[in-house]
Amino acid sequence: MRSTTSNELRSLYLEFFQEHGHAVIPSASLIPENDPTVLFTTAGMHPLVPYLLGSPHPVGKRLTDVQKCVRTSDIDEVGDASHLTFFEMLGNWSLGDYFKREAIAWSWEFLTSDRWLGIPQDELAFSVFIGDENAPRDDVSFKLWRDQGVPAERIFYLPKENNWWGPAGLTGPCGPDTEMFIITDKEPCGPDCSPACSCGRYLEIWNDVFMQYNKIADGTLVPLPAPNVDTGMGLERTLCVLTGKKSVYETDLFVPILDKIAELTGKVYGSDEETTKAFRIVADHVRTSVFLIGDPRGVTPSNVDQGYVLRRLIRRAVRHGMKLGAPEGFIARIADVIIAGYCGVYPELGKAADFIKEQLLLEEGRFQRTLQQGTREFEKAASRLTGGTIDGLTAFHLYDTYGFPIEITAELARERGLSVDEAGFRERFAAHQERSHAGAEQRFKGGLVDASDQTARLHTATHLLHAALRRVLGNDVAQKGSNITAERLRFDFSFGRKMTKDELAEVERLVNESIQADHPIDCREMTVDEARGEGAIGLFESKYGDRVKVYTMGTVSKEICGGPHASHTGELVSFKIQKEEASSAGVRRIRAVIGASSDGAGA
């Protein structure tokens, strides 16, 4: 088996699939562009959903990439050997092109050939879908593994909970998968030991999903016109297995980070369980924070949505760093090591290095200022307790006055054998804030893009709004993010102050003028250079491959975008701004509705 480095594994993977006719596409942003249901890109397939549902991709039908992903639903597990909030996913896609035969043959070749990973054949096991009332048993994949010479006893038929992927939300592309496992030297845990148990004998390294269906709102699986392949190999986990390390933190991706933490704190990683856990939490959380702030759709700490998750990651890292005795400002010094390690692969981090460190220092400072006071408050509240529970009002007070995310209050409580009335906290929080972070948390566990007509129209409205803002406020205005639900759009953009009433009225008027003009919406594919030459706006960096889609709406808007859109601007009927507010430093947020709506809501 090849002992490899992270850089080598990324390159090998892309090179292998390039040799098999795949175009390498850059990682998309960590912030989904047009998906109201999730806060972060959680899997390699996520930015490709429109193409998995049938839109043609500008660079072709065979794609491969390394996608940045963030999953925070298991944040409390971070600290053990394998959980991470940020990871990279190696993937290859067939958009209605090849299917099971090629996908399985290539997976086998990449895993076992000495030219590639060279894993001994008898150290690999596989699982395939056993079938249920909705979809048949996947005998085809079973046979394809057998054809590669895999003995039947190393191919396991497993149920939906193990061998089905997607949709990540309620609707979207999905299908059976076949998973690949390294067999460790752990003895089987019993006669039924299989990749489905978590005893540690089988470690999953790759998943080939055969996306044959689109799950629609009533739960029916509708066969896709052309079935796709979506595969995902977690870089950190695979690297850990290939190099025989006990945890992902011992791979070359983390060693320099842990060394820096040791240097800053004088503590030794691995000296005891608690120290090890704190090192891992700091390393993981700072790494994720660096990627979020340094993303082309950069996130900054705030009290809602992605900004709230970022705040929580930084504050948790600060707390665990302080436990280790780290000096003030340590987070930014750890960020330096992370940026240096990754900027070759993700140049956006190098470019944003100063901004990343500044944001980390600011948030650390904000938190340090309130932490001691808040901890004293917490201790007072804890000492007043008659039962073992911190009530919701106290938890909310700690949040509101001392900036304690509920998770930190809960963690402090746990450390003292207490619990927190989180439901009570959330009730007060929701009453106090228009958008509670509880809602945000549900969303980031949730699903994928809603490709309805209304979403497409709202998406079109963001382009018109973007263009109007630039006309009224100047061309320095740039989109920083957007979020669309079935009812409204939200648009974040760079601008240093509150907009005046007149400016808002003018922006609204311009958008309505564009709607009334009923411009046809034209989509053309071209290279990034051509798009730039034509004066298209949009995120040019590390989002798409060489060829991009440019949407033009009359003479009003020309923007690089993945779509989908309305076909004429008149479909939007009318446009109304409901609110303009600060989103984070230097970023404003507009919330708006359109007249065309399935439920009659809107302007």
Residues that bind ligand SER (CB under 6 A): 43-45, 91, 165, 207, 209, 230-232
**Rounded CA gap, 535 and 437, in Å?**
38
Shortest Cβ distance from residue 165 to ligand SER (Å)? 5
Residue 91 or residue 296: which is nearer to ligand SER going by CB?
Answer: 91
Residue nearest ligand SER, CB atom distance: 232
Shortest Cβ distance from residue 588 to ligand SER (Å)? 34
Shortest Cβ distance from residue 17 to ligand SER (Å)? 13
Residue 180 or residue 304: which is nearer to ligand SER going by CB?
Answer: 180
Residue 159 or residue 188: which is nearer to ligand SER going by CB?
Answer: 159
Residue 172 or residue 564: which is nearer to ligand SER going by CB?
Answer: 172
Per the CB < 8 A criterion, the answer to whether 76 and 200 are in contact is: no
Q: DSSP letters of 355-393?
A: HHHHHHHHHHHHHHHHHHHHHHHHHHHHHH-SSSEE-HH
Shortest Cβ distance from residue 33 to ligand SER (Å)? 18
**572 is written with which tokens?**
């939007």
Residue 91 or residue 602: which is nearer to ligand SER going by CB?
Answer: 91
Shortest Cβ distance from residue 48 to ligand SER (Å)? 10
Backbone angles phi, psi at 271, to 5 degrees: -70, -35
Residue 44 or residue 227: which is nearer to ligand SER going by CB?
Answer: 44
Shortest Cβ distance from residue 391 to ligand SER (Å)? 40
Shortest Cβ distance from residue 404 to ligand SER (Å)? 33
Shortest Cβ distance from residue 431 to ligand SER (Å)? 37
Residue 32 or residue 403: which is nearer to ligand SER going by CB?
Answer: 32
Residue 168 or residue 468: which is nearer to ligand SER going by CB?
Answer: 168
**168 is written with which tokens?**
């990540």
Q: How many CB atoms lie within 10 A of CB 197?
A: 13
Shortest Cβ distance from residue 206 to ligand SER (Å)? 9
Query: Which SS3 state, helix, strand or coil, does residue 492 take?
Result: strand
Shortest Cβ distance from residue 208 to ligand SER (Å)? 8
**352 is written with which tokens?**
């944003």
Shortest Cβ distance from residue 42 to ligand SER (Å)? 8
**Rounded CA gap, 529 and 547, in Å?**
9
92 class by beta-carbon count within 10 Å (0-12 exposed, 13-18 middle, 19+ buried): buried
Q: DSSP letters of 78-131?
A: BTBSS--SEEEEEEEEESSS--HHHHHHHHHHHHH-TTTT---GGGEEEEEE--
**7 is written with which tokens?**
């850089």
DSSP type of residue 146: H
Per the CB < 8 A criterion, the answer to whether 492 and 583 are in contact is: yes
Per the CB < 8 A criterion, the answer to whether 99 and 208 are in contact is: no
Residue 93 or residue 330: which is nearer to ligand SER going by CB?
Answer: 93
**324 is written with which tokens?**
């280790």
What distances in angstroms separate CA 151 from CA 64, 110, 197, 200, 489, one per listed residue? 30, 19, 20, 21, 53
Residue 47 or residue 232: which is nearer to ligand SER going by CB?
Answer: 232
Backbone angles phi, psi at 266, to 5 degrees: 75, 10
Shortest Cβ distance from residue 182 to ligand SER (Å)? 16
**Rounded CA gap, 400 and 431, in Å?**
13
Residues 6+ apart with CB under 8 A from 263: none
Per the CB < 8 A criterion, the answer to whether 230 and 52 are in contact is: yes
The pairing of beta strand 419-420 with beta strand 389-390: parallel
Shortest Cβ distance from residue 229 to ligand SER (Å)? 9
Query: Which SS3 state, helix, strand or coil, does residue 305 take?
Result: helix
Residue 91 or residue 562: which is nearer to ligand SER going by CB?
Answer: 91
The pairing of beta strand 587-594 with beta strand 489-494: antiparallel
Q: How many CB atoms lie within 10 A of CB 599?
A: 8
Query: Which SS3 state, helix, strand or coil, does residue 86 take?
Result: strand
Residue 88 or residue 230: which is nearer to ligand SER going by CB?
Answer: 230
**Rounded CA gap, 275 and 549, in Å?**
49
Residue 93 or residue 378: which is nearer to ligand SER going by CB?
Answer: 93
Query: Which SS3 state, helix, strand or coil, does residue 518 take?
Result: coil
Residue 207 or residue 359: which is nearer to ligand SER going by CB?
Answer: 207
Shortest Cβ distance from residue 357 to ligand SER (Å)? 31
The pairing of beta strand 557-560 with beta strand 202-215: unpaired
End-to-end CA distance of the chain: 62
